Amino acid sequence: MTILVDSNEPDNIVRLLKQSVPVTVTNLNLLHMSDYYFSNYEGKTLQFSRKQAGELAGNVDEAEDQLSDYYHNADENYQIVEGITSPDKLKIKGVAVPIDSHDQPGISTRDLGSRLFCYKVEPGGFIEKGHSFSAINDSLLYAWTHRLAKAGIITYYTTNWIGTARMLSALYRNEQKPPEEHSTLRRVVRPRIHIKKAEPFLKSLLFLSNAYKLGIGEKKSAALAEHFCNILDLATADLNEVAAVEGIGKKIAEKILTAFGREV
């Protein structure tokens, strides 16, 4: 699948994306979908909403309404914010960057009466005139993006449209890899064995129970098969993880792992 890009997105991003990944421009927003949309190796869909820092700070409520509208049309949701946000005015070699003030009462229902400064960064590092907002501050923005993450919407920050294009390209290519090619946190998180055949697994569990007198019938075997992928996955599991399966408990979990030669 290609990366689907909304027809209102900048041509510069589209051209840069096309250098490394397949791209199709279409009317995503009219279909209540975010600005960028694609599927991964396993068929899950991901969508990304792009906002300028000043655009977001100027009206958080509108941004949230858009995210809500798009939310259910993909398996995973993300937000990209371009530019720089700061509670302080930026200075270049001691000279303050010019500021346009946006002190508009009632611009957001989240009015804390403090300022946030937002800057657009052009390619090459040139910072354009900034904008100040009194309806939102950095603490509120942090709290808002944190709650978005709790709802399953992760926020990424990029410097400008070039950073956005590079990030989307990198994430698209990464998501096309099969699960076994990802090594992140392998030393910390036990990888799953993803080949799952329920019926042979159930038979194996019932045979194991009969051979080692584990007291596992069809109901408990089905619960184990629902939680684990196969015998190897179960044999390498943590005791507490096995015990947490419905109907198993710690005593049976100890018997199961002992049957595999584990010391528990």
Which residues, given as ranges, of the chain have pLDDT below 70? 101-114, 186-198
- Tell me which residue has tokens 């290609």: 2
Is residue 161 located within the same domain as residue 254? no
In a domain, 226, yes or no: yes
* Buried-exposed string 72-97: b where 16+ CB fall within 10 A, e elsewhere: eebeebbbbbbbbbeeeeeeeeeeee
Beta bridge partners of 49: 79
pLDDT for the residue 80: 98
Is residue 18 located within the same domain as residue 77? yes
Is residue 77 located within the same domain as residue 208? no
Closest by CA position to 132, among listed 111, 153, 158, 114: 114
Give the DSSP letter of residue 190. Answer: P
**Owning domain of residue 216:** 198-259
Outline where the chain has alpha helix (H).
Answer: 11-18, 53-58, 60-70, 138-150, 161-175, 198-212, 218-227, 231-235, 239-243, 249-259
- Give the Å distances, CA to CA, from 180 to 102, 177, 256: 50, 8, 27
- Number of domains, the chain: 2
In a domain, 73, yes or no: yes
CATH number of the domain within which 255 lies = 1.10.150.20
Handedness of CA 91, 96, 98, 103 (dihedral sign): positive
Please provide residue 37's backbone torsions phi and psi, each rounded to the nearest 5 degrees. Answer: -150, 130
- Residue 126 CA to its chain's centroid (Å): 30
Paired tokens of 179: 């699960």
Is residue 146 located within the same domain as residue 32? yes
Query: pTM for this one?
Result: 0.68
Helix/strand/coil for 262: coil
Is residue 240 located within the same domain as residue 145? no
Amino acid making up residue 215: G
pLDDT for the residue 105: 42
CATH number of the domain within which 42 lies = 3.40.50.10130
Outline where 71-160 has alpha helix (H).
Answer: 138-150
Is residue 212 located within the same domain as residue 174? no
In a domain, 204, yes or no: yes
Is residue 64 located within the same domain as residue 158? yes
Is residue 206 located within the same domain as residue 153? no
